Structure 1
Amino acid sequence: MTALDWNHIRAFHATATTGSLSAAARQLGLTQPTLSRQVAALEATLGVVLFERVGRKLVLSQTGSQMLERVAVMADAVDVMALIASGQVQDISGKVSIAATDTYAAYLLPRIIERITQDAPQITIEVVESNELSNLHRREADIAIRHVAPDRPGLIGQHIRDTEAYFYASDDWLERNAAPARLSDLGNAGLIAFQDTARFAEYLQDIGIPVTPSDFRLVANSAVTVWEMVKRGMGVAPMLREIADITQGVTRLFPEMPPIVVPVWLVTHVQMQSSPRIRFVQDRLAHDLARM
């Protein structure tokens, strides 16, 4: 049996899961040519084609898809080994990475992190701004602030509390436009949309706002960008209450409207619970997020 190089297998797995050579290279800290050579070497060793090019995209071949199922099990086992080793470091110093949505990362986390670093200056905090559900198995983050419960084995979730979101407009916008009297009026009130306009429109329709994706004139893939547009008087958008509360010059619309309930979860991997620095940061996050 031909011995396989784990680096080549890892290159294949990263490329298959990220969908591109460039993204896989960034994930593994390699140059794209190096990663490409490793994937090609694995194909040559096995004598099979693992990827096919469709336009500018890489698509798994049938053999590649079958191999990915097996390699994913190996990758998970290696990840667990790394988690166990990292979790056994009985030292309060070191790096802790926190994944959070862009709004939390920009508006709420800095104040909390400032207090953490004052109390434990030997800890290095890395903030991973992500609107996706960071894969804690892959060590993209040690702790994730999420708005849904953990959905994979090995992850531990702590439900901190439920927060609320409402619709807001700037005081300047309200001076130039008539305040919408009913929730259904928002369809003609310059709503700013998130990038997945079909999903956003569907949600708004469910709560009584008659809009279609083609109705939006301003769209952004970042909630921070949307909020900055609201602050500049460019339109109306929903936002978490605690972020709106610390923003000057914005007004909540429809004071009688039932809140949009948004759960707040802290999630980490079970193997990281033995790490003092992870527990310290997680406890401080839980305490400060619960007080907001």
Structure 2
Amino acid sequence: MASTLPWELLRTFLGVLREGSLSGAARTLGLTQPTVGRHVAALEQALGQPLFTRSSTGLLPTEAARGLRGYAEQMETAAAALQRAATARDEGVHGTVRVTASEVVGVEVLAPVFADLRKRHPGVVLELALSNQLQDLLRREADIAVRMTAPEQGQLIARRVGDIELGFFARPDYLDRQGRPATLAELRGHTLIGFDTVTPFIRAGAKRLGGITRETFSVRCDSDLAQLALLRAGAGIGVCQVPLAAREPALERLLADQFSWPLQTWVAMHEDLRQNAACRVVFDALVEALSRHVAAA
């Protein structure tokens, strides 16, 4: 076996493990498929054993590959830490900061925060990655994350800014036509706007919905932004953040005494970035803005 293994080969190895194919890894890593294939072959030659077997569904890792995964991920984390440490040595408030948040928080809450940050710190380049999927801060998929669950990774700096409450809302003109439900059971006689895909988050909060399931919804969509737009358009009754609805005189809350879903809200970043001036500025701005957002309910 070779005395040293180039990190690029191990990075490609992890990409193939996660994607299950050469083409998928190529897209994720920004490489060509032949390059990914060469990297895998070179690593197999260096280790003296096969790492993947072909199947009808893609590439399956061998037992040797599964055993190596943890070590490769440790190297990946170390490489990301090295990059963070190098970036942290920059002087002044400049550099690139990548923030991840849910769609609705990114568009409805963070957009004005980014605008203000650019005015005050023109040397900071901001990236906003909107997704309801958790991004891994240890692998530096983002520098800072706004999360609705408590971070569990020990190497993160996390600040809880409070709870964002969810409630049922609709436009008054819809309610004037269809009536105002007095109980959760009466919601079933209305046009309900809700999710299409049952996620672990939805399953965890299913009891709060009082027996409402996917089949109950007349309008289904997994985009929080689209659901908000449907509420604003008067399409029916749906769930909305209470602080967002407080800005909307055209939205009326329903059944507040029967349905309330508080979401813990956190801002988190990797501890290695605490000395990075740009990350500190953005982190503090997000904490301040989200604290105001929570208090606006």
Question: Which digits, 9 at most, give the CA deviation of each residue in 1:24-77, with x for residues without a partner?
Answer: 334433234422332233234434332344444443232221121221122222
Runs of 4 or more above 6 Å deviation: none
Name the TM-score, length of structure 1 as normaliser.
0.89
Q: CA deviation at 1:275?
A: 0.6
Q: Does 1:187 align with 2:188?
A: yes
Partner residue in 2 for 1:160: 161
Distance 1:159 1:231 in 2: 29
**Which consecutive residues of structure 2, in runs of 5 or more, have no partner in the other structure?**
none
Q: Percent identity?
A: 30
Instruction: Report the number of matched residues.
Output: 292
Once the two structures are overlaid, the 10-residue window that deviates more, 26-35 or 160-169, is 26-35
1:13 is matched with 14
- 1:169 and 1:233 in contact (8 A); partners too: yes
SS in 1 for 2:210: coil
For 2:171 and 2:56, the matched residues in 1 are separated by 45
Contact 1:194/1:200 (<8 A) preserved: no
Deviates more, 1:115-124 or 1:181-190: 181-190
| Match in the other structure for 1:109 | 110
CA RMSD of aligned residues (A): 2.4
Aligned to 1:121: 122
The verdict on how the C-alpha distance between 1:27 and 1:198 changes in structure 2, with shifts beyond 3 A counting, is closer
Preserved CA contact (<8 Å) 2:168 2:256: no
For the 8 Å contact 1:161–1:290, the answer to whether it is kept is yes
**Corresponding residue for 1:41?**
42
Following TM superposition, by how much is the alpha carbon of 1:258 offset from its aligned partner in structure 2, in angstroms? 5.3
| TM-score, with length taken from structure 2 | 0.88
Match of 1:221 in 2: 222
Distance 2:201 2:177 in 1: 26
CA shift for structure 1 position 175: 3.7
* Alpha-carbon contact 2:166-2:262 (below 8 Å) kept: yes
Conservation of the 8 A alpha-carbon contact between 2:26 and 2:36: yes
Closer, same or farther: CA 198–272 of 1 in aligned 2, 3 Å: closer
Q: After superposition, what is the alpha-carbon deviation per residue over 1:8-39, rounded to whole angstroms, capped at 9, x for unaligned?
A: 11101122234454553344332344223322
Structure 1: unaligned runs, 5 residues or longer: none
* Preserved contact between residue 186 and residue 209 of structure 1 (Cα < 8 Å): no
Asked if the contact 2:169/2:254 (under 8 Å) is kept, the reply is yes
Paired AA for residue 241 in structure 1: V
| Contact 1:51-1:61 within 8 A present in 2 as well | yes
Question: C-alpha separation between the residues in 2 aligned to 1:118 and 1:268?
Answer: 23
Query: Structure 1 CA distance, aligned partners of 2:22 and 2:230?
Result: 35
1:204, 1:210 within 8 Å by CA — same for their partners in 2? no
- Tell me which residue corresponds to 2:90: 89
Separation in 1, partners of 2:201, 2:186 = 16
> 1:232-274 CA deviation, whole Å, 9 max, x = no partner?
3333221111222234532211243453111111100000000
> Is the contact made by 2:143 and 2:269 (CA closer than 8 Å) also made in structure 1?
yes
Q: SS of 1:238's equivalent? A: strand
Q: Which amino acid aligns with 1:11?
A: T
SS across alignment from 1:7: helix
Q: Is the 8 A contact 2:106 2:128 kept in 1?
A: yes
